[in-house]
Amino acid sequence: MAIAGTVLIGMGLFFMAVTAIGLIRLPDFYARTHAVSKTETLGIGLLLGGLVLHEGATLVSLKIVLGLLFIFIANPVAAHVLARSALQVGIMPWTRRDSTGER
Amino acid sequence: MLHAKMEALRVAFRTRWHDGNSRGWGRPLFRWLGYSALLIGLWFGLSGLLKGEFLTGGIISVAVVLFVKEAIFHPSDLLGFERPPARFSWLVGTMFRLAIYLPLLLWEIAMANIHVARLVLDPRMPIKPSLVEFESPLRTEASNAVLANSITLTPGTVTVDMSAHRFIIHCISETSRQGIQDGALLRRVARAFDETIEVPELRDVTSAEEVEW
């Protein structure tokens, strides 16, 4: 159980590292939103899942699962509000120029 | 200013109490009792103590949460949504079907996460962002909210705007866009909420000015 938990935590850390790399590499605001709010869901999910495995079936585990549920509801709302205000002030997403030079 | 705010709140509470459209389990008293029971249960589940000061704190918190919730959330039909069927069997059935939906969603999230991780780590970074809109065929507020959150939770797609009839989605690659076009998530949400739908056409949003708010 402890080994499985540690593996999950390690995978969670990998996805969080990908989040950080994506935040630096991706070209514009919207694309970075993907990196942060997305890779983080699985990152946090695996991390907290690993902690639950370490902890076993206790009240603390229940609280961790409730926290996870809260993140899964609150995280997309925050991402949505940020993206919505960005579009409302007129920021258009970065797009790749195709071979004809059109955007 | 403050007086006007308080007056608006009072009117809001009155209209909510004399809510003619709500029947059965959707009646305001039942709704508030349901939320109170849920929140009190959560409070004691988390504190695990039944002492006087905790009880008072819990009741005050629940009252504040309910008050704020009633003040900032509008009845869904004012926003252009249909009301869900106010039947207990529908509520229980939807809870059950959502419990089946959740693992499917988690699987989608895991798969899409690997896709986005691959995009980010690829040296050429083969992303192809696009902004699309479609008319949501879902009718109730809850189903639309679940769809919007599911789309945002699934990596590669972010819900930029969600209203009763229109979704604007930012997709990071062709694969993510294809996922929205196929409407796999949409069909699952519709099944969970027992609604019949047709998968809508996608339109590209090419400038921020053409978007109506």
Q: Is residue B59 within 8 Å of A76, Cβ to Cβ?
A: no
Q: For residue A98, what pLDDT is reported?
A: 58
Chain B residue closest in CA terms to A67: B46
The model's pTM is 0.80
ipTM rounded to 2 decimals = 0.82
Instruction: Please report which confidence band the pLDDT of residue B154 belongs to, taking 50, 70 and 90 as the band edges.
Output: confident
Helix H or strand E segment including B201? none
Domain boundaries for CATH 3.30.70 within chain B: 88-207
Mean pLDDT of chain A: 84
Query: What residues form DSSP beta bridges with B135?
Result: B166
- Write the CATH number of the domain with boundaries B88-207: 3.30.70
The whole-angstrom separation of Cα A40 and Cα B181 is 25
Chain segment B37-93, per-residue pLDDT in tens: 989 888 887 777 777 788 888 889 999 988 888 777 766 666 677 777 767 788 888
The whole-angstrom separation of Cα A91 and Cα B185 is 27
Of A27, A87, A95, Cβ closest to residue B130: A95
Work out how many CB contacts closer than 8 A connect A with B.
Answer: 115
Which of B108, B112, B103 minimizes the C-alpha distance to B185? B108
Mutation test of the interface with chain A: which of B109, B160, B171, B209, choosing the one with the most A Cβ atoms within 10 A? Answer: B160
Q: What is the 3-state secondary structure (H, E, C) of chain B?
A: CHHHHHHHHHHHHHHHHCCCCCCHHHCHHHHHHHHHHHHHHHHHHHHCCCCHHHHHHHHHHHHHHHHHHHHHCCCHHHHCCECCCCCHHHHHHHHHHHHHHHHHHHHHHHHHHHHHHHHHHCCCCCCCCEEEEEECCCCEHHHHHHHHHHHHHCCCEEEEEECCCEEEEEECCHHHHHHHHHCHHHHHHHHHCCCCCCCCCCEECCCHHHCCC
Query: What residues form DSSP beta bridges with B169?
Result: B132, B159
Chain segment B19-40, per-residue pLDDT in tens: 545 555 556 777 788 889 989 8
